[in-house]
Amino acid sequence: MILNRNYFINIIIVLGLLLFFSVRSSIAEEINFEVSADRNVIMIGQGLNMQIKFSNSKNVPALRLPDIEGFRSRYIGPSTSMSIVNGRIASSVTHIYSLVPLKTGKFNIGPFGFDHKGNTYKSNTLMIEVKDSLNGGENAGRDKGSGQAINDRISVVMEADRSKAYLNEMIPLTIKLYIDGLSVRDIEYPVFEHDGISVDQFKEPRQYQERKGGRVHDVIEFSTIMFATRSGNLSIGPARIKSSLMIQKQRRRSQSAFNGFFDRDIFGYEKHSIELLSEPLSLNILPLPRDGRPDDFRGAVGKFRMSVESSPSEVSAGDPVTLKLSITGEGNFDTVTSPVLKREEGFKIYEPQVTKSANKKVFEHVLIPRAETITRLPDLYFSFFDPEEGKYTELIKKDLPLKVLKPQKDEELMVFDAPQSAKKRPARETLGRDIIYIKGSPGKFRTAGAYLYKNPIFYIINVIPLLLLISLWILKKEKARLSSDVGYARRLLAPKKAKRGMDKAAKHLGRNEPDEFYDAVSKTLREYLGNRFHLSSGGMTVDIVDTALRNKDIDQEMLQDIKTLFNECDIARYSSKEHGTAEMEATLTRLREVINYCEQIKQ
Amino acid sequence: MRNLTMLLFKQIIAVIVLVISASSVYASTEIEREESPEYIFYQGNGHYKDGLYDEALVEYAKIIEDGLEGGNLYFNMGNAYFKKGELGKAILYYEKARRFIPNDSDLRSNYKYAVSSLKNTVDDAESSFIHDILSMPETLTIDGLTLLLSALYICIVILFIAIIYFRNIKRPALISIAILSALWVLTASSAYNRASAIDIEAIIILKEAEARFEPIESATLHFGLTEGMKVQILESKPKWLKVKRNDGKSGWINKNSAEKIQAEK
């Protein structure tokens, strides 16, 4: 038993040593780096597997491949292997990538490089030829242009019926998916941005074939209608369609007779998600014209007809009449609102019930005539804008007859007078309660937050009465003082009178009339001093002035000037001395200086 | 000579281009005026009549986005929210409308009905002469109160002027001035209160809102608020509002629970 245990331990030690040395030898060896493909010639619409094999190591991570011209790549996964040959362990890892060709031609793939533990490795180069035909002979007759991209084989085209339309006008929109000989599945409905445009749901897609660019394409057509909700230049799209491209997988050829069949089954294809983009569209949306817009226009755009049915045609006052207004035609029914009822006096009108179907909108009004004098239904007006004609059309239904009878009161009385109900009081009427209907007119709009008390002009206007009050009060006070205080009144008048006197003196100076000039100067001076200092102007002499002004805190020099003026005037008036113009000008200047000085002193 | 003709021709072309571009500028301004607020209002009414309340609200909101507001507009928006079953929002818009058309009987009726719908009771306000007198300032808009203040003030000024010029009416004029001044003070106080409340009043628009002691989700609950309740905003934080209830209690609520009556610019 002990022997057996020793034998087992020896085997483990030997195996461990072997493994240790073999691993050491494998680490010490260089990594081989090789790129290969399962085939070198493929057709567009098929895929191929590319393997990147790292020998002597199984720990190399997958390379992040750069963009490969003419192909779209996808990492599938790793595959590791280990082999012992002549007691030597060899390990390797193969990273597998799927490549899908995007266009035809001959392409070089690689070389690829990678760094591992400080060493840089470089792979070999692969040459792959991508041919146009999917099924060889089947498409042999078609044009095989070299360098044809997958975009030429599958594309999306978005088309609007017209690029110029009016606001709210219906515009048919078509999105076509063109497929040329490719297998495409899981096609989703198109999606696109449509800011400012309302788009209806897509109808069931239509499939047919169409010749485009000299080749027959399978077409899947998505159609809908749209309308713009604002005017201006609007952009729509690009339309995106998500789908899956089925790429034929490579299978190893075998001699089996069934392989030809199984190559084409669902399991023989690989699915690749693709997203296709169309070109965007631009639309020029015109606003509805203002000219000729009827008052009752509520925004309907299209070409419509209006029909009216009313029932019954003969009712008692207080009984309901149903007015059924049908709007039919072509256009944007979202913009169609109930026709306007005019001359509806004498009717109680309830909100209409609206039913909408394809190309038809029906408004059912319930009307109750209040009096038997009514002979007609209200007039009906419906206006719409016809984008084809480019003008508004108003449909009017007038004078629709209605016979209203007297309410049958007798019958009601009979009911209440019946013996079994005579004792019972009529049940109290139960009335419904609801909110009162919306306002029909917009009333006055105001800038948000623009309150009167925030408006500075309002305050300025309000200050005016206060200023008026203050002014009138001052005026009244002034008037009262003028009438009671003679000295004050004289003082106020003094400069005005003096100015007139000086003007008169200046005139005489201009005419060279010395006597009149000095008379005017003397009179002006006496009057001014009399008024200004409340003195008697009549008997004013130099002495009186001197005595009166001595207490007034007047500059002595100025007092002397006043005296000089008096003297000059007296001399001129009572002597025969001739006076020149210059002398008179000096006198007038002195008079002005005296008056100006006196005006400045306080009293 | 030929060069001169070419130059003249180019100048004529330039003038024509200028005239056309100027007229296109005029046309573009016309386009801007195309959708007048009245037109949009009627569009909204059209949708409302068809029972398309969301579409009606979209149209009405366009007018507000243009920086305009009006009593009838807010009334109709209140109705649309009422029909949608959003009573809090309905009351909010009726409150907005009350700032423009406080005397409108339709508005009073709908407002009262919306409030009673929330409380499940009919909330008929007491009506008496004294109540009517005291609530008179409520029947005026802020602009109406401002104009009333201005009118009272002008009357006082006129009476003062009359005293200055007609001494014999001094006594009755002074009594009138005293009465008018008292009225002016009362009106001014009411106008001041109303103007102060413009930017702080809000309505609870969620079915229920919880006021907490602190602006933190985990804070202790203080009191509850129900849809349509009017509150005063005391303080605002990015996600919280400090509000005061009518009974004087104040607490923090989530910002999306309430909406100010006066929309912020």
Q: Chain A within 8 Å of B71 (Cβ-Cβ)?
A: yes
CB contacts of B45 in chain A (<8 Å) are 438, 440
Tens of pLDDT, residue by residue over B1-47, are 444 455 555 555 555 554 444 444 444 443 344 578 898 999 999 99
CB contacts of A466 in chain B (<8 Å) are 157
Pull the structure tokens for residue B167.
């001494």
Q: Chain B within 8 Å of A447 (Cβ-Cβ)?
A: yes
Give Cα B194 distance to the centre of its chain: 12
Contact present, A205 and A221 (Cβ < 8 Å): yes
ipTM topping 0.85 = no
Q: Nearest CA to CA, how far is B74 from chain A (Å)?
A: 10
Q: How far apart are CA B28 and CA B35, in angstroms?
A: 12
Nearest C-alpha neighbor of A172 from the set A163, A156, A160 = A160
First and final CA of chain A: distance in angstroms?
149
Q: Nearest CA to CA, how far is A288 from chain B (Å)?
A: 8
Phi, psi of A162 (to 5 degrees): -150, 155
C-beta atoms of A452 and B157 within 8 A = no
Q: Nearest CA to CA, how far is B164 from chain A (Å)?
A: 7
Q: Nearest CA to CA, how far is A282 from chain B (Å)?
A: 19
Residue A69's pLDDT is: 82
Pull the structure tokens for residue B194.
């109303």
Give me the mean pLDDT over the B115-132 stretch: 58
Q: Chain B within 8 Å of A352 (Cβ-Cβ)?
A: yes
Q: How far apart are CA A360 and CA A598, in angstroms?
A: 99
Q: Please provide the average confidence, as pLDDT, over all residues in chain A.
A: 79
CB contacts of B34 in chain A (<8 Å) are 231, 287-288, 290
CB contacts of A432 in chain B (<8 Å) are none
C-beta atoms of B49 and A436 within 8 A = no
Nearest CA in chain B to A351: B49
Quote the radius of gyration of chain A (alpha carbons, Å): 56
Residue type, position B137, single letter:
P
pLDDT tier for residue A498 given thresholds of 50, 70 and 90 = very high
pLDDT tier for residue A409 given thresholds of 50, 70 and 90 = low
Tens of pLDDT, residue by residue over A290-337, are 888 888 888 889 999 998 888 888 888 778 888 888 999 988 888 888
Residue A568's pLDDT is: 83
Q: Please provide the average confidence, as pLDDT, over all residues in chain B.
A: 82
* Maximum C-alpha span of chain A: 179
Q: Chain B within 8 Å of A444 (Cβ-Cβ)?
A: yes
Tens of pLDDT, residue by residue over A533-573, are 887 766 777 777 777 777 777 788 888 888 888 888 888 87
In the three-class reduction of DSSP (H, G, I as helix; E, B as strand; rest coil), residue B183 is classed as helix
Phi, psi of A131 (to 5 degrees): -105, 160
DSSP state of A37: E
Contact present, B145 and B190 (Cβ < 8 Å): yes
Q: Chain B within 8 Å of A350 (Cβ-Cβ)?
A: no
Residue A248's pLDDT is: 67
Give me the mean pLDDT over the A179-207 stretch: 83
C-beta atoms of B49 and A288 within 8 A = no
CB contacts of A436 in chain B (<8 Å) are 106, 109-110
